[in-house]
Amino acid sequence: MAIFGLWVINKAGGLVYQRTFADGLAQLTSNEYLILAGTLHGIHAITSRLSPIPGQCSGAQVIEGETFKLNVLLTLTGTKFVLLTSPAEPTAAIDTLLQKIYTAYSEKVMQNPFHTPEMPIRSEAFDMSLTALVH
Amino acid sequence: MATSSKQYLTRGEELWKGRSEKVNAELFALTYGALVVQLIQDYEDYSEVNKQLEKMGHNIGTRLIEDFLAKSNLGRCADFREVGEVVAKVGFKSFLNITPAIAHTTIRPGSTGSAPPQATNSAGSSFSLTFDENPLAEFVELPEDALEGGLWFSNVLCGVIRGALEMVQMQVQVEFVSDVLRGDETTELRVKLIKHLEEEVPVADD
């Protein structure tokens, strides 16, 4: 049971926030993170068009591997919150956590008048609420 | 439709009650009043003031929508009619603690906002909101030249709605059609859907 890390991807596919909470993930350079986030954005766009059922589809929500699980929360505004966890982590708990992270984002990031939307997030308040939520 | 509109009402009520940080209504009204006065002094032109208020509102709306979506946890609306219901009953309620009466323009139901059941599938392309109370305009009386200049005192609301809906891929036109401050019978705001924006298509694909 572990929550490894969080990414926030803006609607254009850029990584605006990346944070690691626990050991267990490969150490990547910031460039590699950007590439990964961009790739995920592309994959997500494809999956949202793969649905056999016509109409709106929110795309991939979970990508699971042997050692990790990647959970995606896509908001209606197009921002993606990606939570990397261990596969044992229950989905319901992850969904609640992601929703809480979104709330923290809306309060600490979007309501900060000095933050430019779609730009990288540098907010101590957001960092602090994340720490409180995850630990 | 009637049940879901009730749901929205209770949802809005819950959200308003659950909001942890609230600001005193009088302080809010006075601050907004001071802001408008400052704009009038700076621009010396009422139509420009209207424009600036709308612009400010737009910036507020694009940010506020995240707060709204995060807390309300509502899904995507099926049609523009539902958008109107949500804006009036959840949006306005959860942020300002008011519920403007909504009237959909395609078929005009009574000002109660509960639509006749046969209307559900006809997607209305505009709706209007009638405000019984307006927290922004508390204690406000417009002077003669502001009336002549055509000031829409609460124009910030137009911007907020436009900004918020734009973030969820709807381009709308929002304007006040009447205001009690101008001596009209009601304060009415009209929201018209122009088009649905293309859903988040990446600008460049590399």
Domain coordinates in residue numbering, chain A: 3-134
**Domain presence at residue B201:** no
Q: What is the mean pLDDT of residues A112-120?
A: 90
Look at residue B121 and tell me whether its pLDDT is greater than 70: no
State yes or no: ipTM above 0.90: no
Which CATH code fits A3-134?
3.30.450.70
- Cβ contact B69:A77 at 8 Å: yes
pLDDT digits (tens, 9 = 90+) for A57-66: 788 899 999 9
Nearest CA in chain B to A35: B206
| Residue contact A99–B70, C-beta within 8 A | yes
Q: Is residue B79 part of a domain?
A: yes
Q: What is the mean pLDDT of residues A46-57?
A: 81
Q: Is residue B144 part of a domain?
A: yes
User: CATH number for the domain including B101?
Assistant: 3.30.1380.20
Q: Examine the pLDDT at A116 and tell me if it is beyond 80.
A: yes
Residue A112: closest C-alpha in chain B:
B63
Which residues on A lie below 8 Å from B64 (Cβ)?
110-111
How many angstroms separate the CA atoms of A60 and A6, rounded? 16
Domain count within chain B: 1
This prediction's pTM: 0.84
Q: What confidence score (pLDDT) does residue B11 get? A: 87
| Interface touch A106/B167, C-beta < 8 Å | no
Across the interface, do A11 and B200 touch by the CB < 8 Å criterion?
Answer: yes
B30-74 pLDDT per residue, tens? 999 999 999 999 999 999 999 999 999 999 999 999 999 998 888
Instruction: Give A-chain residues touching B203 at CB under 8 angstroms.
Output: 12
B76 touches chain A (CB under 8 A): yes
Write down the H helix ranges in chain A: 30-50, 91-104, 124-134
Q: Which domain holds residue B128?
A: 2-196
From the list A13, A99, A111, the residue facing B67 with the nearest CB is: A111
- B62 in A contact zone (CB under 8 Å): yes
Beta carbon pairs, A and B, within 8 Å: 47
CB neighbours of A22 closer than 8 A, spacing ≥ 6? Answer: A2, A3, A4, A5
- Report the distance separating Cα B133 and Cα B131, nearest Å: 5
CA pair distance A108, A118, nearest whole angstrom? 14
Q: What contacts A6, CB < 8 A, 6 or more positions away?
A: A17, A18, A19, A21, A81, A82, A83, A84, A101, A130, A134
Is residue B21 situated within a structural domain?
A: yes
